[in-house]
């Protein structure tokens, strides 16, 4: 069985990372247009760099939870029959043990040089305009897909959704496109769909099955079901 898993902010929230939306969301005090668009970066690069520098630093204070670890166990069992795509820009999946993660919205711990187009693993702050390791220009930006930009690897995602047997959405709001449309694409191609979410999302009614609860409980239980089915 081939499975495509999409994860969103809800899976990382239990590790202590704030989601974008909600009462304590990252947008509190910042309108998205001020920190998450190419236009915002051009108008006020210091504000945007500082916003993502703070988020990058926050990663050092959190750890992967049981949901991340369970998905890594599923990858170990299924190999290439599991395609894990995440909307999250943190590295908790990798730190939880997953080795093949498609970050459709980019990664916090990466920088993109606008001068030479190279991308680099990046741990430090970008606010002070450090030089690019490749061309030494000071034109690095967060390697993040901002509003108005095209998510990474959409052709690969579309192909995986067309080839899978089951699409599973974990901890997503069902608000941000194109990820919110993955369930429609999967169903349109005759695939089974499952949602694991703390609350009802904007696309809950579109799934064949939806389960409610914390990701750290739902995901390990679901993974155990899959692995038991394979060994039974």
Whether 105 sits among the annotated catalytic residues: the reply is: yes
- Which pLDDT score is estimated for 30? 67
Question: pLDDT digit string (tens) for 88-130?
Answer: 999 999 999 999 999 999 999 999 999 999 999 999 999 999 9
pTM of the predicted model as reported, rounded to 2 decimal places: 0.92
The least confident of 5-19, 77-91, 100-114, 158-172 is 5-19
- The single residue of 68, 93, 103, 105 carrying the catalytic annotation is 105
Contact 47, 40 (CB under 8 A): yes
Mean pLDDT of 57-76: 96
Mean pLDDT of 164-193: 95
């Amino acid at each position: 069985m081939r499975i495509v898993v999409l994860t969103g902010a809800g899976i990382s929230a239990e590790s202590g990372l704030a989601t974008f939306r909600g009462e304590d969301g990252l947008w509190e005090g910042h309108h998205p247009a001020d920190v998450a668009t190419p236009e915002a970066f051009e108008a006020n690069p210091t504000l945007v760099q500082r916003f993502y520098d703070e988020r990058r630093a926050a990663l050092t204070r959190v750890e992967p939870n049981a949901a991340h670890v369970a998905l890594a166990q599923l990858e170990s069992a299924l190999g290439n029959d599991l395609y894990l795509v995440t909307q999250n820009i943190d590295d908790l999946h990798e730190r939880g043990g997953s080795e093949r993660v498609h970050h459709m919205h980019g990664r916090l711990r990466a920088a993109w040089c606008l001068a030479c187009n190279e991308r680099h693993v990046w741990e430090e702050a970008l606010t002070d305009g450090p030089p690019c390791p490749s061309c030494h220009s000071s034109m690095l930006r967060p390697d993040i897909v901002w509003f108005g930009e095209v998510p990474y690897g959409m052709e690969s995602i579309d192909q995986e959704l067309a080839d899978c047997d089951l699409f599973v959405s974990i901890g997503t709001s069902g608000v941000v496109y194109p990820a919110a449309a993955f369930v429609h694409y999967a169903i349109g191609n005759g695939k089974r769909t499952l949602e694991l979410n703390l609350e009802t999302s904007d696309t809950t009614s579109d799934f064949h099955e939806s389960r409610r609860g914390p990701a750290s409980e739902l995901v390990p239980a679901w993974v155990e079901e899959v692995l038991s089915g394979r060994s039974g």
